[in-house]
């Protein structure tokens, strides 16, 4: 970047920044207010770009992360506007959100996003879902004209980094998503595992589909030998799958989606109107519904538990905002697991993959260096283009000034003269252009750039 740093290290002039909050320092209560649906992203991007100092923006919002990536003209003014955006989103003051948010700039932005895409900064180490979320966040911003050259280049490389880390390390082995963690925890908590348990899957969205896949894998592993699991991993059907998910029912507000997901699993489905009936028969309830209000209320669950003589019920709530009223946990016979407890379970499962973290971070470091070099080259490219354009304008002006003499030449002579003058310009500018690009890669282009602007009046 052709800019200077102030005494605090912040950059003056055009720079990259990310402001956000994630699972490391924020509770589920805050995420309930900060999580944005895809429909709300358009308005968020519009609000961010209202400030003249914010040139580009991408908003990444997942169940455990909300971040604003931006290209700003003046760092402090642009970032202050993003802090104001979070204050409005959380219904808090600027000072209050300052204690919750982290802010990074320039290369630290690339390092952070690459770690996010690689699953190194997720509630579940090596999480696979976040890579698609990173890609989708950029696609939404790009479609709305909020992501320009700088952020588009950054996010494209982030997707490449995420794929590379997962293919070249073992970080994505084992539990790699919250949905898989939820099913694994249910298997761990339920007496005898999932075998013979009646499971109610409430929600048929992205998280619901993830839990459906995890349920199928868990049940298959429970009733089949290792060779059968290998067939399953390869996507090859086998007799052991018949009736595999007969004890699973999918319930959703959208019956078509419930029916489709149930058919994929070999499970049953039902409408939301029959939720109480299904709750009475369930041993385990996995809940993930995209709604700002509760789906399971205390009163409903108390009535259901009474009808089933308080037979134990395990409920896992993956909703953000929460789908299950917290008082449900106080009902006799009910065990309620929320995202905070799920994170604790996940942390205990990570020991086997921690050895891969250093390898993955080394790859991220390599990609950050690539990003740095590519961005420095892009920073000087407009100046190099302006230099060649100015020289070409001068060449053409001189050719026009001598047009009467040139027109007296034959066609072949005119072509030779045109080619000769172009070659002279290219050879004269070649060395200055190469030197400027080299200086850009090393981070010392400011002095040469300023000299070129002064010498050639660019």
- Residues annotated as catalytic are 63
Alpha-carbon distances of 140 from 58, 127, 143, 160, 346, rounded to whole Å: 8, 21, 5, 18, 30
Among residues 130, 112, 131, 124, which one has the least CA distance to residue 367?
A: 112
78 close to 70: Cβ distance less than 8 angstroms: yes
Name, in order, each residue with C-beta under 8 angstroms of 393's C-beta and a sequence gap of 6 or more: none
Secondary structure of the chain: what % helix, strand, coil (to 5)? 60, 15, 25
Categorise residue 309: left if φ over 0, alpha if ψ from -120 to 50, beta otherwise.
Answer: left
199 close to 277: Cβ distance less than 8 angstroms: no
DSSP-assigned letters across all residues of 120-144? TTSSSTT-SHHHHHHHHHHHHHHHT
Name, in order, each residue with C-beta under 8 angstroms of 287's C-beta and a sequence gap of 6 or more: 202, 203, 295, 296, 315, 316, 317, 318, 319, 323, 324
Reading the block at residue 396, the tokens are 């053409």
Residue whose structure tokens are 């082995």: 173
Q: Rounded to an integer, what distance in angstroms lies between the CA atom of residue 296 and that of residue 176?
A: 27
Torsion angles phi and psi, residue 421, rounded to 5? -65, -35
Residue whose structure tokens are 């037979």: 311
List the beta bridge partners of residue 66: 21, 61
Half-sphere exposure of 109 (CA within 13 A, CB side): 29
Burial 169-204 (b: 16+ CB within 10 A, else e): bebbebbbbbbbbbbbbbbeebeeebeebebbbbbb
């Amino acid at each position: 970047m052709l800019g200077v740093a102030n005494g605090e290290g912040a950059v003056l002039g055009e720079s990259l920044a990310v402001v956000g909050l994630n699972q490391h320092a924020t509770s589920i209560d805050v995420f309930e207010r900060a999580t944005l649906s895809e429909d709300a992203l358009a308005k968020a991007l519009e609000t961010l770009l209202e400030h003249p100092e914010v040139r580009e923006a991408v908003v990444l919002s997942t169940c455990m992360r909300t971040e604003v990536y931006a290209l700003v003209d003046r760092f402090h003014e642009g970032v202050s506007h993003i802090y104001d955006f979070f204050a409005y989103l959380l219904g808090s003051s600027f000072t209050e959100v300052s204690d919750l948010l982290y802010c990074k700039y320039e290369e630290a932005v690339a390092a952070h996003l690459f770690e996010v895409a690689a699953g190194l900064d997720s509630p579940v180490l090596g999480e696979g879902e976040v890579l698609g979320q990173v890609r989708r966040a950029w696609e939404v911003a790009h479609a709305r004209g909020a992501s320009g050259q700088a952020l588009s280049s950054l996010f494209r490389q982030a997707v490449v980094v995420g794929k590379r880390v997962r293919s070249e390390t073992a970080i994505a082995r084992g539990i790699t998503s919250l949905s898989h963690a939820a099913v694994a925890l249910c298997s761990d908590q339920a007496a005898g595992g999932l075998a013979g348990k009646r499971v109610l899957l409430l929600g048929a969205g992205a998280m619901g589909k993830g839990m459906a896949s995890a349920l199928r894998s868990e049940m298959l592993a429970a009733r089949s030998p290792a060779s059968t699991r290998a067939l399953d991993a390869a996507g090859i059907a086998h007799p052991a799958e018949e009736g595999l998910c007969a004890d699973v029912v999918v319930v959703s507000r959208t019956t078509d989606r419930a029916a489709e997901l149930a058919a994929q699993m070999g499970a049953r489905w039902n409408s939301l109107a029959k939720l109480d009936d299904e709750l009475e028969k369930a041993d385990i309830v996995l809940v993930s519904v995209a709604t700002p209000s509760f789906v399971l209320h205390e009163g409903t669950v108390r009535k259901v538990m009474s009808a089933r003589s308080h037979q134990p019920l395990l409920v896992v709530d993956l909703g953000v905002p929460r789908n299950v009223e917290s008082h449900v946990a106080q009902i006799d016979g009910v065990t309620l697991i929320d995202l905070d407890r799920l994170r604790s379970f996940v942390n205990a499962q990570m020991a086997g993959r921690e050895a891969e973290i250093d390898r993955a971070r080394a790859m991220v470091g390599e990609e950050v260096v690539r990003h740095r070099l590519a961005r420095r080259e892009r920073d000087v490219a407009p100046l190099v283009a302006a230099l060649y354009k100015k020289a070409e304008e001068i060449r053409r002006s001189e050719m026009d000034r001598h047009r009467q003499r040139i027109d007296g030449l034959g066609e072949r002579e005119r072509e030779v003269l045109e080619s000769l003058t172009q070659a002279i310009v290219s050879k004269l500018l070649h060395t200055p252009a190469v030197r400027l690009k080299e200086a850009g890669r090393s981070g010392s282009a400011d002095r040469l750039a300023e000299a070129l602007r002064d010498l050639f009046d660019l």
